[in-house]
Chain A
Amino acid sequence: MKFLYIFTRSAYGNSIAREALDMALASAAFDQEVSLVFAQEAIYQLVMQQNSANTEKKPHLGVINALPLYDIDDIYYLAEDSSTYNLPPAALVPQAKALSAEQFSSLMSSADRIQSF
């Protein structure tokens, strides 16, 4: 089954970012096809230069970089957010790809289960 997770929160401000990512990992562990879209502020979860030391939280990049190990290769951000938040592709983890609004919409149409966090 195709699971699409749409995240909208940044990495450290709220526990939902991490816990929802764990849910996505669980879906992949149960052999589902998982796609992730890091929309709006969630694009910050993909920033390569992160330092969580002052937040006293585990580095979020650990999980982000582990995604391919769970066979999650469809990791996206929205091209529009990339310019809105002034985060060019080079600032983001290389496994994440840009989606146009049109591609995002067709990704949603093809998903069996959509959950947003």
Chain B
Amino acid sequence: MKNKGLTKVDLIFETVDVRKVIKKAFEMTSDEIIQQVLESGLKGRGGAGFPTGLKWKYTAAEKDPEKYIVCNADEGEPGTFKDREILDKVAPKVYAGMAIAGKAMGAKKGFIYLRGEYRFLLPQLYVELHKFHKMIAEIGYDFSIEYRMGSGAYICGEESALFESIEGRRGEPRNKPPYPTTSGLFSKPTSINNVETLVTAMMIIEKGPLEYVKLGTKDSRGSKVFSISGDTPLPGIFELELGMTVQQFVNEFGDGDAKAVQVGGASGFCVPRKKFADTIIGFEGVPTGGSMKLFNSSRSMYNVLHNYLDFFAEESCGQCTPCRVGCQQLLKGIEKVKKGEAKSTYLNELIKLADTMKVASKCGLGQSVGNAFKSIVENFREEVIY
């Protein structure tokens, strides 16, 4: 399969006349906005990749007069920091994206759930929000946004845990269905979108879906903001067209000695050097919410895996057994193998446990622990054992 190569894009941070875009959207019907987002092929930029247009369509179809648009700014995935940069640099575009989503679905109220670690951004964000509310009032549209803060719980990035947290409870994920589009925040139809998704949707309205689909591949339309860290001479935030291979990525961002790239953070996949060339970054290959961590040959992949499992064992909400016990047992398990207290074949048992967690856990946290676990154990077995 021919890939797209590595191309830098400037869509998210580009300066646009926000007022003009909002006015343009407000002159469109709800159906027209949703249709354009659907045609763009935009998938959620937080990591899970649900088609944004569908989410808006389902929420719009609900009859309840009270609906919400929630912006998920609880960016907690290890290695992800692009939403902070987006809010820091182009907050008005995020607000505009929410207003446009609100118009499309008939929601008059928006909430932004910002992780507690980013509280220092709030004063400036409120200045921008005040200006935005003034502008919306001048345009003559009824829509407002409120901030709600997280308090250091990774799990609150899971949509239903996030609702629980806003409602004043422990951030424990709910059972699905019902999905947020029918019963979300305060049990009302809710569309919950990532920060970057909202800005992208707003830019699709600005440029038109035909312009947007020129970027990316059939399965992964458009561009994506990547958070790049680890063993790289170029750590930072870069917007790139989707569809490149890991090899092309490493050629640009590696330090010449990359042995593995963790795509999608602790809940994502580890791609070893031998698979760089034929792995595409996107929904047809390895999907990512933007987290790209490079590891060179000086790093122990056992340490990487241990760090991730320690993270999950702490951040699991503890509500369901497969995740609560599973994370701890995986962590203890690799420690035992490393110390020689268990045979190396014990890793096969642990892989079975990770598979069980994938099918039996209640939410995305427990379901995705196995991604990093399996891809690291399978590709770097010797490093985990010896």
A and B assemble together:
no
